[in-house]
């Protein structure tokens, strides 16, 4: 897992490479085909993209509408892929052919793909060269104290530790500021450890009462870069380097030290760096108190014959630095006066307190940084002898009072703290408002007494400050969920031409990384990184023909196609009974003054269903319901129950077309839960305003979903394009896990989603859901889930179980590949052992292959010639790369199956962790898997486009996304943030989530309810 906000509408928007602070399995944007989720372009009935912009100076392709192609300098020749790398790849390939991979290990690469048209691509990698004899001494850091420091405080403690005890080593020592130190030379360690007393940055000495910590360093090994280079340049198949991951980690620490040590760069996570002091072109406002900063992801990677540095543009939302007053006003101007949501927005924001000025010996001001805990709230300090008086959440400076132990004199007097034995009679203490305290003590008049007071202490021991004396510290990333307008602004600025991103990497990115010019740390370690992108060899695979009813074939163009006149679904399904439900809310446009006025649109939709081949009757009479935020759930539940339970059971409709208002997640979430889980009826949501003016294209997009849900197959491929799948003896499985996000309640679980094919056309993919422990990526109870998929497959395939099981596993990070083999493969085997006849098992049936699908990687490719660029300046759809940026022994490849309408296309990464199906084909195994995976991307039923990841993985993600809607109360509690008890992220939970809350009703559980 990792951060998400990904939206991957196949054939739709490319990646702007930005982080939307939402949930980790995030989802895309509203589909064009109606209210159901779908990636941009994913439901686009008519394929095709928008033209990219013309090139500018320094880029090839300057004609009007021509693609823009990256170049290091105008007119500079494109360097050929490194021949040294190609020779090592070829020699290793020959060596691998003579070796049989052990069943218990990950399969060795059977060879490289050969099919497709050759193409040379730029890639966002630079080469790292280090002195072969460079030793790297590794040390663990352990810091203890009354309270273990975290985040920025821990970073500061490590800074002080190194300044006070290892300054003589200068640039020869680096750290990740968390738990590791990498040194060029051995360190003389104090066996008793070190005492570190905290002091703020810029302070000459620590305060007398500043916290003290004990720090210990322990050597954990010595690494030599030459060992890694020898491993990567070796052509022997069975060469192993157990320390490879430790070596890569150490090099990442050395390379990442420069940006992490730079006070003007905010480092997010292990390797994303944002220069918040950059020029205006690298930052832009999102509104409502947030700004976006263009930063750079940096990671050292191992590849055939060389060490590489992966650098990718990343955009992220940050709190706007400056007066806290301005931040609050900006937030409220777009989000309204809801103080509970404001409190959630401000939680954990660091502010520089300005009413007390402290300077060091050099006369420089020393920041006093505090962290906002909450707005002043009722119940603060309830355990104190004299608790504060707060009339309401978010009260202003004149209304919030705290008890002062002594008259305010020159700043004496502690707010909200438990006092020791009072020096004066208790009667001299008194309550004082925040407004009066600052007026009397600091001669500061609060300009806006109604501005909410912030608590920079804790719930138990509050400490109140007016926003007027707080400055938001720059460089603070925001986890707040972006509003629709902020998302649009992010997309508008972050979705850039690929060539511009490539140029940013070698210019601003190289400066952030410190390789242009080379920073002193890298120089001290003898490491050089050339700030130029590398080229690699790629291939462009041909698109398969798309088959429709009547043996009609359509040939895609640029990964997209049209369903021409008289083209019908491959397997149109019956829809003899369906109805409609219009849900209206106060303030939304009254689209139809009389429900009868909706009939012409419904008739038009019915005609489209029949035109596409569905045996559909006209819908039965529907109805309109009016809901408010207070009664939406109850009214929707009641109405859908009435529809599903008519007086005459024979008249129960098979599907409801639900017409909903725009931008109303609460209504859509409830409709899905009521239909899928509570009542068991198929449903398709459409936005009322769009449906009212729907054209032919829109109606067809909705029809794609209807046919899928009803059990039909929208499109198929020629059997030859399905390879071994055409034999009808293979079940293809997609698996994914969605996890709670930073804004989720503490009791939010993780949810498993699994889909599996049931027909030889691979048009139907029923699904299942299961709750499990929060943030656990490995799937629990997979054997039971797999047994149910196998039983359904057998029920629809003459009672026989599949001979092959091909699994596309989504959401697994590189460090978890082995866990898939250790945990999930045995569970799949257990499911098969329980069902398959003993005779088949003795023959090695079923054969199982597991391919991990990666979407959150940072590898990108850019065309090197205008002739090889599509209209959005990306490589052509069907581009596959298995050389140059991969390791020669691992079986993996990158595939960009789709056409991105704009932005930089992100290829999917496929890594084979187990194989019993393809290896028998020898060197042809690579082509077989690459071609099959590519062709499957044309079978995503909601689109007439190739999608960016193969449908099993895509569908599994949609299933997980659907589960998030059912559990929106814990996954996105901000939707209902309206009372003090639910505003604090992570504290809204309580009850344990029941399995039944995601258990699909038996009437629809074997249908594609989630599409």
Chunked mean pLDDT (size 10), the chain, 1011 residues: 37 50 36 38 36 40 71 92 95 86 75 97 97 92 92 94 94 96 96 93 83 95 95 91 95 96 92 87 91 96 97 96 97 92 94 92 88 95 93 95 73 42 58 96 96 96 97 93 90 93 95 86 94 97 96 94 89 97 88 86 97 97 93 96 93 96 93 98 96 94 98 96 94 97 89 97 97 92 97 96 98 93 97 97 96 96 96 97 97 97 95 95 92 98 97 98 95 63 41 92 98 95
* CA gap 122, 804 in Å, rounded: 37
Q: Write out the E strands in 238-305.
A: 265-268, 272-275, 283-287, 290-303
17 with 314: CB under 8 angstroms? yes
For residue 538, is it within any domain?
Answer: no
* CA gap 767, 491 in Å, rounded: 32
Q: 150 with 290, same domain?
A: yes
Sequence-distant (6+) residues with CB within 8 A of 594 are none
Instruction: Tell me the β-bridge partners of 196.
Output: 213
Q: 312 with 387, same domain?
A: no
What CATH number has the domain bearing residue 691? 3.40.50.2300
For residue 32, is it within any domain?
Answer: no
1000 with 1009: CB under 8 angstroms? yes
Q: 176 with 291, same domain?
A: yes
* CA gap 526, 133 in Å, rounded: 10
The predicted pLDDT at position 673 comes to 98
Q: Which of 667, 656, 637, 737 is nearest to 702 (CA)?
A: 656
* CA gap 766, 770 in Å, rounded: 14
The predicted pLDDT at position 131 comes to 86
825 with 848: CB under 8 angstroms? yes
Both tokens of residue 1005? 């559980």
Sequence-distant (6+) residues with CB within 8 A of 221 are 138, 243, 246
Q: 276 with 333, same domain?
A: no
For residue 718, is it within any domain?
Answer: no
Sequence-distant (6+) residues with CB within 8 A of 194 are 161, 164, 165, 214, 215, 216, 217
Sequence-distant (6+) residues with CB within 8 A of 176 are 253, 256, 257, 260, 270
For residue 673, is it within any domain?
Answer: yes
Q: 337 with 313, same domain?
A: no
The predicted pLDDT at position 161 comes to 96
Question: Could you write out the DSSP letters of every residue in 298-349?
Answer: EEEEEETTEEEEEEEEEEEEEEPPEEHHHHHHHHHHHH-S-HHHHHHHHTT-
The predicted pLDDT at position 21 comes to 44
For residue 73, is it within any domain?
Answer: no
The predicted pLDDT at position 343 comes to 95
Q: How crowded is residue 431: how many other Cβ atoms within 10 Å of its Cβ?
A: 12
Helix (H) or strand (E) holding 735: strand 730-738
In which residue are the tokens 């594609």 written? 1008
For residue 314, is it within any domain?
Answer: yes
| Of 647, 682, 712, the domain-final residue | 712
548 with 613: CB under 8 angstroms? no
Residues of the domain holding 614: 572-712
Helix (H) or strand (E) holding 520: helix 520-525
* CA gap 625, 627 in Å, rounded: 6
Q: 163 with 270, same domain?
A: yes
- Counting the structural domains of the chain, the total is 3
User: For residue 436, with 0-12 CB atoms within 10 Å meaning exposed, 13-18 middle and 19 or more buried, which class applies?
Assistant: middle
Buried/exposed code over 470-502 (b: 16+ C-beta within 10 A; e: otherwise): bbbbbbbbbbbbbbeebbebbbebbbbbbbbbb
Q: 294 with 161, same domain?
A: yes
Q: 209 with 357, same domain?
A: no
Q: 327 with 430, same domain?
A: yes
Sequence-distant (6+) residues with CB within 8 A of 737 are 1, 25, 750, 751, 752, 753, 772, 776, 777, 779, 811, 960
827 with 783: CB under 8 angstroms? yes
Q: 282 with 245, same domain?
A: yes
Q: 188 with 312, same domain?
A: yes
What CATH number has the domain bearing residue 437? 2.170.260.10
872 with 49: CB under 8 angstroms? yes
* CA gap 273, 515 in Å, rounded: 14
* pTM beyond 0.85: yes
* CA gap 63, 405 in Å, rounded: 75
Buried/exposed code over 126-146 (b: 16+ C-beta within 10 A; e: otherwise): bbbebeeebebbbbebebeee
* CA gap 420, 727 in Å, rounded: 82
Q: 207 with 313, same domain?
A: yes
- CA angle 140-141-147, nearest 5°? 145
What is the CA 7 to chain-centroid distance, rounded? 9
The predicted pLDDT at position 103 comes to 46
Buried/exposed code over 837-847 (b: 16+ C-beta within 10 A; e: otherwise): eeeeeeeebbb
Both tokens of residue 489? 């602004």
Instruction: Tell me the β-bridge partners of 211.
Output: none
For residue 551, is it within any domain?
Answer: no
313 with 16: CB under 8 angstroms? no
């Amino acid at each position: 897992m990792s951060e998400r906000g990904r939206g991957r509408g196949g054939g739709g928007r490319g990646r702007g490479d930005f982080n939307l602070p939402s949930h980790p399995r995030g989802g895309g944007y509203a589909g064009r085909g109606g209210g159901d989720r779908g990636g941009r372009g994913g439901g686009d009935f008519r394929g095709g993209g928008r033209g990219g912009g013309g090139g500018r100076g320094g880029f090839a392709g300057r004609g009007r509408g021509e693609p823009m192609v990256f170049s290091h300098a105008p007119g500079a020749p494109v360097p050929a892929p490194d021949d040294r790398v190609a020779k090592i790849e070829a020699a290793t390939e020959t060596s691998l052919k003579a070796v049989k991979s052990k069943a218990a290990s990950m399969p060795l690469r059977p060879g490289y793909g050969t099919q497709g048209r050759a193409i040379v691509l730029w890639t966002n990698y630079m080469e790292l060269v280090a002195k072969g004899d460079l030793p790297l001494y590794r040390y663990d850091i352990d810091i203890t104290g009354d309270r273990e420091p975290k985040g920025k405080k821990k970073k500061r403690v490590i800074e002080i530790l190194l300044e006070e005890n290892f300054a003589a080593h200068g640039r020869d020592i680096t750290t990740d500021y968390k738990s590791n130190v990498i040194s060029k030379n051995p360190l003389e360690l104090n066996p008793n450890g070190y005492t570190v007393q905290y002091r703020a940055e810029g302070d000459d000495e620590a305060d007398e009462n500043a916290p003290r910590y004990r720090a210990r360093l322990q050597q954990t090994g010595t690494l030599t870069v030459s060992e890694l280079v020898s491993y990567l340049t070796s052509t022997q198949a069975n060469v192993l380097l157990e320390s490879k991951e430790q070596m890569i980690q150490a090099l990442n620490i050395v390379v990442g030290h420069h940006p992490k040590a730079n006070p003007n760069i905010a480092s997010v996570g292990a390797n994303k760096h944002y220069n918040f002091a950059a020029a205006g072109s690298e930052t832009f406002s999102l509104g409502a108190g947030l700004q976006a900063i263009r930063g750079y992801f940096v990671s050292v990677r191992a590849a055939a014959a060389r060490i590489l540095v992966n650098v990718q543009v990343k955009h992220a939302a940050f709190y706007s630095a400056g007066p806290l007053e301005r931040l609050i006003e900006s937030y409220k101007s777009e989000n309204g006066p809801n103080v509970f949501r404001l409190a959630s927005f401000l939680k954990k924001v660091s502010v520089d307190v300005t009413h007390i000025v402290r300077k060091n010996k050099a006369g420089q001001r020393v920041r006093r940084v505090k962290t906002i805990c909450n707005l002043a709230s009722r119940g603060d300090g309830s355990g104190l002898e004299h608790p504060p008086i707060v009339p309401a959440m978010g009260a202003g400076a004149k209304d919030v009072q705290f008890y002062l132990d002594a008259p305010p004199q020159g700043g004496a007097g502690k707010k909200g703290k438990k006092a020791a034995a009072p020096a004066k009679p208790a009667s001299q203490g008194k309550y004082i408002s925040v407004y009066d305290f600052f007026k009397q003590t600091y001669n500061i008049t609060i300009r806006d007494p109604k501005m909410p007071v912030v608590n920079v202490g804790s719930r138990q021991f509050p400490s109140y400050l007016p926003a007027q004396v707080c400055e938001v510290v720059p460089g603070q990333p925001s986890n707040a969920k972006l509003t629709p307008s902020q998302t649009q602004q992010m997309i508008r600025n972050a979705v850039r031409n690929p060539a511009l991103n490539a140029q940013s990497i070698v210019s601003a990115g190289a400066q952030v990384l410190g390789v242009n010019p080379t920073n002193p740390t890298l120089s001290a370690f003898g490491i050089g990184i050339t700030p130029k992108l590398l080229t690699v060899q790629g291939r462009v695979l041909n698109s398969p023909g798309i088959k429709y009813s009547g043996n009609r074939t359509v040939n895609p163009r640029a990964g997209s196609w049209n369903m021409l006149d008289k083209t019908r679904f491959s397997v149109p399904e019956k829809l003899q009974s369906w109805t409609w439900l219009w849900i209206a809310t106060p303030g939304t446009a009254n689209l139809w003054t009389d429900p009868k006025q909706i009939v012409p649109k419904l008739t038009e939709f019915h005609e489209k269903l029949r035109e596409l081949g569905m045996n559909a009757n006209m819908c039965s009479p529907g109805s309109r319901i009016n809901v408010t935020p207070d009664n939406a759930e109850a009214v929707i539940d009641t109405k859908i129950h009435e529809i599903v339970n008519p007086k005459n059971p024979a008249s129960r409709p098979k599907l409801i077309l639900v017409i909903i208002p725009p931008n109303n997640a609460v209504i859509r979430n409830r409709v899905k839960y009521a239909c899928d889980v509570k009542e068991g009826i198929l449903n398709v949501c459409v936005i009322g305003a769009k449906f009212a003016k729907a054209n032919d294209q829109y109606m067809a997009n909705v029809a794609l979903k209807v046919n899928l849900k009803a059990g039909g197959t929208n499109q198929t491929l020629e059997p030859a394009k399905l390879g071994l799948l055409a034999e009808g003896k293979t079940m293809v499985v997609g698996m994914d896990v969605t996890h709670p996000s930073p804004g989720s309640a503490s009791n939010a679980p993780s949810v498993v989603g699994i889909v599996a094919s049931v027909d030889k056309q691979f048009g139907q993919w029923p699904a299942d859901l299961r709750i499990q422990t929060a943030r656990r990526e490995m799937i629990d109870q997979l054997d039971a889930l797999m047994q149910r998929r196998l039983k359904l497959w057998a029920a629809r395939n003459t009672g026989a179980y599949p001979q092959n099981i091909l699994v596309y596993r989504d959401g697994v990070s590189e460090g978890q590949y082995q866990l898939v083999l250790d945990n999930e493969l045995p569970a799949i085997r257990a499911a098969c052992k329980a069902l398959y006849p003993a005779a088949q098992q003795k023959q090695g049936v079923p054969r199982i292959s597991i391919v991990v699908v990666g979407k959150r990687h940072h590898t990108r490719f850019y065309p090197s010639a205008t002739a090889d660029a599509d209209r959005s300046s990306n490589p052509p759809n069907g581009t596959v790369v298995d050389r140059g940026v991969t390791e020669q022994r691992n079986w993996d490849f990158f595939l960009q199956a789709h056409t991105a309408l704009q932005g930089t296309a992100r290829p999917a990464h496929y890594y084979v962790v187990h194989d019993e199906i393809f290896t028998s084909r020898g060197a042809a195994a690579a082509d077989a898997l690459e071609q099959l995976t590519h062709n499957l991307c044309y079978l995503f039923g909601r689109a007439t486009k190739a999608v960016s990841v193969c449908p099993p993985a895509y569908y599994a993600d949609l299933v997980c996304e659907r589960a998030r809607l059912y559990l929106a109360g814990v996954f996105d509690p901000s939707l209902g943030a309206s009372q003090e008890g639910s505003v604090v992220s992570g504290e809204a939970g309580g009850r344990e989530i029941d399995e039944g809350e995601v258990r699909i009703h038996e009437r629809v559980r074997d249908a594609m309810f989630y599409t």
